[in-house]
Structures are given as structure tokens and as C-alpha cells.
Structure 1
């Protein structure tokens, strides 16, 4: 009787895995999109510097303007996105597929290479920008800057 009960339990757990129920232990590893590679901030983070887990090398790379090959997508009003989502990214309605891009603050000329992530919203609905990208643009985190968006 115990053998049948044990076998039933094993089959039930196996069935849960087939249905996608329970923890994902064998999920395929996927590489994060370029510009989004950075560790998550520590749960104790309590300042912009603590939430920004990008390295000096990543910030230097993101600040470099490409020589050629970009297309202007438009201008958007941006706000701070989720500060716990690491890396350089912008969620925007200006793109329909995730792609490499660059955002620029026309007031200062500062720019950041980012991963452009579609929101499914209209292009004029505004955008969210990662904390590291806003810091690179030297935009106060409580501002709603107008940013120019380019696809690389």
C-alpha cells in the first residue's frame, strides 16, 4: 500500500512539472539583452547609487555615441522605471520589438545606449527609463525629461 502511495505521489509531482506547476528548475538559460546585463540590487539598497549596480566599464560603454547606423525614432517624455530592474533600458511605445538603441537628453547632449523594450502602448504614451540610464544622462530622478530615441 505504501509503495502505491509513494508511486502516486511521484507521478503527481511529475505531472505538475509537465503542466508548468511548481518551481522551474530546468528552465532554459537565456542571455539577457545587451544593455541589461547587471546584477540586481541588494534588498537593502536605499539610494540611487546602491540601486545602480552597473560597473564603471558598463557606464563608459553606454555613454559612447555610435559613429553611424542609427535611426531617429522620435521624442518621448520619460520617467524613472523600476529601480530594481538593473542595466540600461527604456520601455517605450516607439518600438514594437526589443532592440538596441540610444537615448539622448537634448538639453545637455548626454546620451546612453539602452535596450529598447516595447510596451504595446501608443508612441505618445511616454516611456520608462532605467535608473542607471537616467543617472548617465544626469537627469534628476524626479524629473520628466523629454528624450530623443534612436534605434541602433
Structure 2
């Protein structure tokens, strides 16, 4: 008896579904090409042009398109700024998008794009970066670019604590 009531209920639901008219389909969305999605070459404030990694990039070395000269310049600029910069605070950073080239830190510690530097507190290594604002409280975490993480010798899968400075 119970199975008969259950079976009748299931059949009634299925019959009512058959009477529902299909909804109009959503318009077809064309996927963007890989070139349209990838960041374009742009100045990063360090007198260099950053180049987007190739669409076939799979390894750290393939994603990190900065040259050793560009890395050395980012370290040199950070050392020069050490005397004339103001501290914005400390943040814990994760690895940002490896497809976004250049030296940058996305952080809620700034309200507009500006140049600055970060110091990895575990070893004292510093690098000049473009500071990019993101939403969130000042105590929220940040995202650091792949080349910057490599220059300061922070573990790519870690959460390094950074001191953030802005140029005056």
C-alpha cells in the first residue's frame, strides 16, 4: 500500500514536469580569446616593460617572464627607497595570479595604484613593487606577484608576512 502511494506520487510529479514548457535559452556567450584575457605588456614603474607569459606556460620559469636584469633593478630600486619611504603596515601575502606579469602587490593597505616596496620579514629581502588596491579591511591579506615572491625568496605555497612601504 505504501509503495503504491509513493509510486503514484512519483508518477504525478513526472507527469506534471512533462507539461512544463521549456524556457527560452540564454544567449550564447562567445568565449574570449586567450590574448584578450591575458594581461597586456605595460610599464610596471621600474623602467621596464612587462611581458605576459605565453598561453602554454605551465612551470614557474615559464610564468616568470622577468629577466635577471629586471629583478636586479627591482632590488636596487627597493634599496634606494629604503630611506625615503613611509610604512603602510604589515600584511600576509599569498601568491597572486602567475599570469599577471611584473612586480606588484594587491593589498587593501592602499586606496590607489602607487609605487612602493615590500620587505619579507623572515629574511629581510626587499623588492620594489606596484601597490594595487583591493577591497577589504586593512587587516585582510594581500596577493604578491610571482617575480616578487621569487626575488624575496618567499615560498610560493607559503603565506609570507611582509612589511609594506610607499614612496614619498
Q: TM-score range by the shorter chain?
A: 0.7 to 0.9
* Separation in structure 2 between the aligned mates of residue 119 and residue 63 of structure 1, nearest angstrom: 24
Computed over aligned residues only, the root mean square deviation of the Cα atoms, in angstroms, reads 1.6
The correspondence for 1:32, drawn from 25, 38, 43, is 43
Change (3 A) 1:85 1:70: same
1:77-102 per-residue CA deviation (whole Å, 9 max, x = no partner) reads 00000100000000000000110000
* Separation in structure 2 between the aligned mates of residue 49 and residue 31 of structure 1, nearest angstrom: 20
Q: Which runs of 5+ in 1 are unaligned?
A: 1-29
Give the TM-score taking structure 2 as reference length: 0.69
* Separation in structure 2 between the aligned mates of residue 89 and residue 123 of structure 1, nearest angstrom: 17
| Rg comparison, structure with higher value | 2
Choose between structure 1 and 2 for higher RCO, CA contacts under 8 A separated by at least 6 residues: 1
1:49-128 matches, cutoff 5 A? 49-64=61-76, 65-66=79-80, 67-128=82-143
1:106-150 per-residue CA deviation (whole Å, 9 max, x = no partner) reads 111111100000003211110000000000011111000111100
Give the TM-score taking structure 1 as reference length: 0.76
Q: Which runs of 5+ in 2 are unaligned?
A: 1-40
* Separation in structure 1 between the aligned mates of residue 44 and residue 153 of structure 2, nearest angstrom: 24
Q: Tell me the CA shift for residue 31 of structure 1.
A: 5.4
Specify the alignment match of 1:44 in structure 2. Answer: 56
Q: Tell me the CA shift for residue 38 of structure 1.
A: 1.0
Change (3 A) 1:124 1:111: same
* Separation in structure 1 between the aligned mates of residue 60 and residue 112 of structure 2, nearest angstrom: 29
| Matched pairs, number | 123
